[in-house]
Every structure is written in structure tokens, then in C-alpha cells.
Amino acid sequence: MGSIIRIKAFGFLFLVSFLACCGQDRGGILGGPCEGCEAVHDYGDRVLSPVDTLPLFGLEPRLRITGTVFKKDGKTPAEDVILYIYQTDRQGIYRKIGEEKGWGLRHGSIRGWVKTGADGRYTFYTFRPGAYPDRGEPEHIHLTIKEPGKKEYYVDDYTFEDDILLTEERRKRMRNRAGSGIVMPTRKEGIYVVERDLFLGINIPNYE
């Protein structure tokens, strides 16, 4: 009897884990459930602009992440869209460098926000993050989107084409939310430039 109970309990835990990991887009919520997406509101009383510089930007290799946010038609620039990114330091740690509060206690201090203008353009100045210490994930920068009148949602992380941890298997599992997040930094005038356009609603569940 005890063995049957343990088997049932294991089966229940497996189902919960599967739904949490692989079924995030269920439940009728825009983009699916997203723990931490509310951090997009953590900017407080800052006046957001299309450009932001993250803490520790001076670390190498430095990055300029830039692009245009388009509406779902893929042509019309999207105005007043807030983008929130956060990342690890070069050692793969979500570093805390000050008196963090809110989601900074989880995401660390290396994070930033921008808000697009009429042309839909955005730019972040940061540096290339390190992989987690266990090297269980490729190098990545998290990205959350908040459109006017819509609930915030996550999209594919920025990942790097030349990262040896970005295996073919991992590439196949990517959902391409708002378009592909795989980027290839190009060195220009002493800084690596990453270009990624974002397409609102593309591969985002329950978007309409």
C-alpha cells in the first residue's frame, strides 16, 4: 500500500513539474504565467527613455544591444513599449552591488529599462554575461515586454550564436517569442553591437 501511495505521489509531482516547466503558456494569460515579469514595473519614479546603461557597463566585452520594436504586422514601429532586461555578471552570478529591493533581490543589480519612442527604437549598453557556474545554461540576457494596455510577458532571451553551450538541441527548443533571440555580436569601434528587432505578438500565446 505504501508503495502505491509513493508511486501516486511521484506521478502527481511529475505532472506539476511538467506543467510548470513545459506548460507555461496555459491558463488564458497573455504570454502564459511568468514569475518575475512584474519586475518590469520596478523602475520606480525614473523617467524612461529609449536608451539605458546597465551597472558595470565598463566590464569587457562591452555590448550595445539595439533594435526596433514592431507591431504584429512586422512593419509599424511600436511606441511606448517598456523593455526590461536583467543578466548575470561575468562569473554567471546575479550580482548585488547596492541596497537592492523589489525584484532586484532576485534579479540582482545588473538590470535596466527602456521605453520606445515613435520610431520604436531601443538601446541597452551592458556587457556580455557569463554562463551559470554549473554551465547548465548558455549565456543569456532575460527580456520582459510591457505594451500599453497589455499585461507584461516574457520573450526569448538574448543568446549568442558563438556560445558553445548553445547546442543544436537547445536551439530546437526555442519558441522564438517576438522573433528569434539568437544574436551574433559584431565588433564596431571598440564595442560589440547586438542587433535584434522585436515583433510584438509573434508566438505569444493568448495575445489577442
- Say which residue the cell 525614473 belongs to: 46
**Mean pLDDT score of the chain, rounded to an integer?**
89
Percent of the chain predicted with pLDDT > 90 = 85
CATH no. for 34-199: 2.60.130.10
Taking residue 63's Cβ as centre, other Cβ atoms within 10 Å add up to 25
**Which set of grid coordinates corresponds to residue 190?**
571598440
- Give the pLDDT score at 59: 96
As a whole number of angstroms, the distance between CA 176 and CA 204 comes to: 9
As a whole number of angstroms, the distance between CA 2 and CA 19 comes to: 26
Q: Could you report the per-residue pLDDT of 33-77, keeping only the tens digit for each? A: 999 999 999 999 999 999 999 999 999 999 999 999 999 999 999
Using alpha carbons, select from 154, 52, 163 the residue that is nearest to residue 110: 52
Residue 190 banded pLDDT, cuts 50, 70, 90: very high
Residue 92 banded pLDDT, cuts 50, 70, 90: very high
As a whole number of angstroms, the distance between CA 180 and CA 199 comes to: 10
Q: Is pLDDT above 60 for 25? A: no
**Which of 17 and 32 is assigned the larger pLDDT?**
32
